[in-house]
Amino acid sequence: MSDEHRSRGPSTRAVHAGEKTDPTTGAVSVPIYQTAPFGFATAQALEDAFLRPKGEYIYSRMGNPTVRALEEKVASLEGSENALAAASGMAAISTVMFTLLRPGSKLVAFRDLYGGSSGFFTRILEPWGVEVVWVDVGSEQGDGAVLKEALGSGADLLYLESPTNPTLKVVDIARAVELGHAAGAKIVADSTFATPILQRPLDMGVDVVIHSLTKYLGGHGDTTGGVVTGPAELIAEVRTRLIDLGGIMDPMAAFLLLRGIKTLKVRVERSCENALEIARFLETRPEVRLVNYPGLESNPYHEVATGQMSAYGGMLSFEVDGDLSAAHRVVDTLDLIRIVPSLGSVETTLLLPAVSSHYKFSSSEREAMGVPDGLIRLSVGIEEIEDILADLETGLAAL
């Protein structure tokens, strides 16, 4: 990323980074290069592209101009040397894991993770021969004794999310990086909830940052994608592995994501404003036992979040006073807020972790994880706050 781009603000980068006026047509929007192969004028040009490459496009599994524009945009937002787009968040995560780990490697992971990530670690990596050690979020606070013990005499990779899904716990990233690097581990962070607008883990020493582009960066719930950002040399290794595995992004998806990212900052800021007001509202309601939102001063992660985030995000969760049937009554009464198994879009949505992301765990296991039956996860959109609050009030009245 050029020094010129580094000096520009995030909204400017979101709009302009990776965007170039097409020299042939003058098109302002990045064209959709909907092609699998690219042609060559001579046999020598083909040979040079393979044996002496200078950035030529050969085959879209290996690289595509529309996808490359998206990668440049995200790299600029994260302040990284390079980025790599993949077909989904899980394609990005799995490719990074297969690049950095081998049978016999040791992976230390914070327990509060997206279910797809933790499932991949236990269902794929452990049978493959990777040792997975789990640590509760919060163990990196203070002297970090629990995390130090988990890292032991050494580790290959430390994996974290912050804030976490769905309990919105906040990892002290700088402290985790310090302990992880001391143990010889690469640090990989899933920063989907925070986005580059609220948090820049690379600036805190993280080696690789992953986002599900499906969520906030796309912002409209109409496409899937994932992205990996970090040092150029490491991203080149991940790119080679992605080409081998085949989890590439389609050019049409890249086009939609390029369009979505242009409004990222204004969307995230509005979601944050709405989420803080909703969290304060829910905290006063007798029907609500607990609100998980780091923006509340009562939240145990408030101080850590304030130190490493510019705002507290558009995600929150709350526990209603009752069991799973009570949570059902609340969400089934809502009109504006829809039940959607995703997050980060312009509309406010919710889901019940007990019957979605954590359905494989027993009620007692979920309770121990901070995911009781009455927990509702809310992804706050950009609607008028009065309309969201009115809908929530109607839902809570069902109790």
The catalytic residue positions are 61, 114, 190, 215
Q: State how far the Cα of 159 lies from the Cα of 132, in Å rounded to an integer.
A: 10
C-alpha–C-alpha distance, residues 235 and 239, integer Å: 6
Q: Amino acid letter at 15?
A: V
Q: CB–CB of 262/15 below 8 Å?
A: yes
> CA-CA distance, 345 to 353, in Å (whole number)?
18
243-268 per-residue burial string, b: 16 or more CB within 10 A, e: under 16: eeeebbbbbebbbbbbbbbbbbbebb
State the Cα–Cα distance between residues 270 and 55, nearest whole angstrom: 39
d(CA 227, CA 215): 12
Q: Tally Cβ neighbours within 10 Å of residue 97.
A: 22
β-pairing verdict for 315-320 and 131-135: unpaired
What is the spatial distance between Cα 61 and Cα 78, in angstroms, rounded to a whole number?
Answer: 24
